[in-house]
Chain A
Amino acid sequence: MIDRVEKLEKDKNIKTVKWVTANEFYLAGHFPGDPIMPGVLTLEGMVQSALVLLDESLSRGRLRASLKKVDRVRFKRAITPGDRVEFLVSLTAREEACWRFKGKAQVSGETAAEADILLQVDLREVGFEL
């Protein structure tokens, strides 16, 4: 759900971008003749941005992380083909394997969605620094 990482500060925040086009397969069913980006995929864009930030913040090794919790998710504005969506995600807290993020999706400076995201690191290699 993300096309490009525009800015990344390890352990702090990330800004990613997705361009929305009518040619995306899921828009065929959401909805026929009335394409609107599904809110849950906007949420997925924020989650994936958080995963990239997590991945880049850990210095070395392989890892696998999963989505544990979402809270305060709000879908505020419809996103349609032609829009450029910016995902702004920042790390807010970190307790052992649990990482908390605050995410926002913006279209032309307007907030389209917001979410609090909790990721858990499930797998790390021996010697991996958390």
Chain B
Amino acid sequence: MMESREIQSILPHRYPFLLVDRISKIEPGKSGVGIKNLNGNEWFFGAHHFYPPVLLLESLAQVGGIVLGTKVREKSPLAKFIGLFAGVSDFQFHRCPVLGEEITLKVEVMQSLASLYRFAAEVFVGGEKIGGGQILLSFQATESGSSR
């Protein structure tokens, strides 16, 4: 399991764009399960009463980034890397999570081609599946520079 502090050692994302709170399960380089809680203090609840679907995609991508980042860090703890959100395929939204819900974010690497990784991604609230599809990340280990 990974807490927020450890997540922040892998992802460069910070407030107000760090959209995963905890990692409950992880198999570096393969799959991961993340948790995002929704409470009333979050900035997007001014304009909506639900978690915006595009941010759901971002949350999944961040869990994907952690899955790939932990793999690189396993080999060398100081390794740097750059991960970028490259795309989304065939992603359906059944409903949006609302205030007070805990979102479970599941991702699993389906295939990788050069620096491009395709993940199967699913979103659950309780036992209910509320969305799913594929996300694409571009991810590269670098000699130096910041991890992104």
Interface residue ranges, A against B (CB under 8 Å): 25-26, 28-32, 34, 38-41, 43-44, 47, 66-75, 115
Contacts and interface: CB of A to CB of B under 8 A. Distances in A.
B14 A28 contact: yes
Given A40-B57, A44-B54, A47-B54, A71 B91 contact: yes
Given A68-B93, A71-B89, A32 B16 contact: no
Q: Is the interface of B mostly helix, strand, loop or mixed?
A: mixed
B81 to A, nearest CB: 13
A38 B19 CA distance: 12
B43 A68 contact: no
Contacts of B87: 72-75
Interface in B43-93: 43, 52-55, 57-58, 61, 84-93
A34 B93 contact: no
A28 B92 contact: no
A109 B15 CA distance: 32
B38 to A, nearest CB: 17
Given A28-B16, A29-B18, A75-B84, A69 B93 contact: yes
B12 A40 contact: no
Interface size classification for chain B: 20 to 34
A43 B148 contact: no
A25 B16 contact: yes
B25 to A, nearest CB: 24
Contact of A41 (B18, B54, B61): B54
B53 A67 contact: yes
A44 B47 CA distance: 14
Given A40-B55, A43-B57, A68 B14 contact: no
Given A30-B14, A40-B85, 16 more contacts: A26-B16, A29-B13, A29-B14, A30-B13, A31-B12, A31-B14, A38-B17, A38-B85, A40-B54, A40-B57, A68-B92, A69-B93, A70-B57, A72-B89, A73-B87, A75-B87
Contacts of A25: 16, 43
A32 B93 contact: no
A31 B17 CA distance: 9
A109 B8 CA distance: 36
